């Protein structure tokens, strides 16, 4: 059963980038971002009420969850949706794999005791090399099409930087709050949806062109990818532990690239999978996987959308 959950999480998070690409065929980037967060929030709220979990009661915790709503949901969801207007969904999924590197960089800012050790620093440096290979700076001058994607690629790095800060903030201020992860994430997504609804009259007013494909993609992206997949991953963490469960990070970019090629006919430049592999090697080294140690930093990736 746990093996099935592992495959489901990898497929769901990896396919989120495909669903975003389909959603953008009839919706603006901000509408896609709002839709996924709102549907994810509604899904978890239904679960929250059905299981009669208690809501957080302290103002301080609500304040911390508001910060997480901004950095783990509202901003990164908007950035990745905007970026996918000009970059392939597969490339976006590869960039998403840099999140553990961003967490390692953010942790010392919020937890001074979490200084980068030699192995972790080496992993981060390898990850940075992977990002450079991914960007392909040698093509920026000779290929205008590649140059045009640079702002979107910067936005994708901004997305993972938000994830890195948000996850480090979660560890510093929210871990040990006494509430289970489903409750915290339901509140977090609800706050994010509320913030995005407040600015929607300004940012999400473009005409919508809906058909069954777009509606189905948004339901899958929001309810499943931003809602149910979190539940599945929580079950994995409880059964396997965070270190083993987090290895799903290595499969999601593979799923994202394969679906982009097979479903959308995306072209993959040689440096994209090579850069992705280098990034994953850096993550494996930094987390201790290559040395068969437990990860020095446990990243609760389920708390964010893909």
Predicted local confidence at residue 297, as pLDDT? 44
Instruction: Provide the pLDDT confidence category of residue 291 given band limits of 50, 70 and 90.
Output: low
The share of the chain scoring above pLDDT 70, in percent, equals 91
Mean pLDDT of 222-250: 77
Mean pLDDT of 26-43: 97
Mean pLDDT of 10-14: 91
Predicted local confidence at residue 231, as pLDDT? 77
What the block records as the tokens of 229 is 């997949």
Q: Tens digit of pLDDT for each residue in 267-289?
A: 998 899 999 999 999 988 887 76
The share of the chain scoring above pLDDT 90, in percent, equals 57
Predicted local confidence at residue 15, as pLDDT? 96
Predicted local confidence at residue 304, as pLDDT? 54
Predicted local confidence at residue 227, as pLDDT? 87
Residue-averaged pLDDT of the chain: 88
Predicted local confidence at residue 302, as pLDDT? 46
User: Poorest-confidence range of 165-169, 198-202, 205-209, 245-249?
Assistant: 245-249
Question: Rounded to 5 degrees, what angle do the CA atoms 5, 71, 21 make?
Answer: 60
User: Poorest-confidence range of 28-42, 52-66, 98-112, 197-211?
Assistant: 98-112
Asked if 286 and 120 touch (Cβ cutoff 8 Å), the reply is yes
Mean pLDDT of 105-129: 88
Predicted local confidence at residue 296, as pLDDT? 42
Q: Tens digit of pLDDT for each residue in 134-163?
A: 888 877 777 788 888 999 999 999 999 999
Mean pLDDT of 153-174: 92
């Amino acid at each position: 059963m746990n093996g099935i959950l592992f495959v489901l999480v990898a497929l769901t998070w990896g396919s989120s980038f495909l669903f975003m690409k389909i959603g953008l065929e009839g919706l603006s980037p901000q509408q896609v971002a709002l839709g996924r967060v709102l549907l994810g929030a509604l899904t978890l709220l239904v679960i929250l009420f059905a299981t009669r979990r208690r809501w957080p009661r302290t103002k301080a915790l609500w304040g911390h969850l508001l910060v997480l709503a901004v950095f783990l949901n509202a901003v990164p969801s908007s950035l990745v949706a905007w970026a996918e207007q000009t970059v392939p969904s597969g490339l976006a999924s590869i960039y998403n794999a840099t999140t553990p590197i961003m967490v390692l960089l953010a942790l010392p800012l919020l937890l001074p005791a979490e200084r980068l050790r030699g192995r972790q620093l080496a992993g981060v440096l390898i990850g940075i090399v992977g990002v450079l290979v991914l960007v392909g700076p040698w093509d920026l001058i000779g290929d205008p099409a590649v140059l045009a994607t640079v702002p979107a690629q910067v936005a994708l790095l901004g997305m993972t930087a938000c994830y890195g800060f948000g996850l480090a903030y979660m560890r510093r201020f929210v871990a040990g709050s006494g509430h289970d992860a489903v409750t915290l994430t339901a509140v977090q997504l609800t706050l994010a949806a509320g913030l995005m609804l407040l600015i929607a009259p300004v940012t999400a007013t473009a005409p919508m062109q809906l058909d069954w494909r777009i509606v189905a993609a948004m339901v899958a992206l929001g309810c499943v990818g931003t809602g149910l997949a979190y539940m599945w991953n929580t079950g994995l963490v409880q059964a396997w532990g965070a270190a083993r469960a987090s290895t799903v990070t290595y499969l999601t970019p593979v799923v994202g690239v394969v679906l982009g090629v097979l479903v959308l006919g995306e072209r993959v430049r040689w440096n994209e999978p090579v850069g992705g592999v280098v990034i994953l090697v850096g993550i494996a080294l930094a987390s201790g996987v290559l040395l068969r140690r437990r990860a020095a930093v446990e990243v609760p990736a389920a708390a964010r959308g893909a």
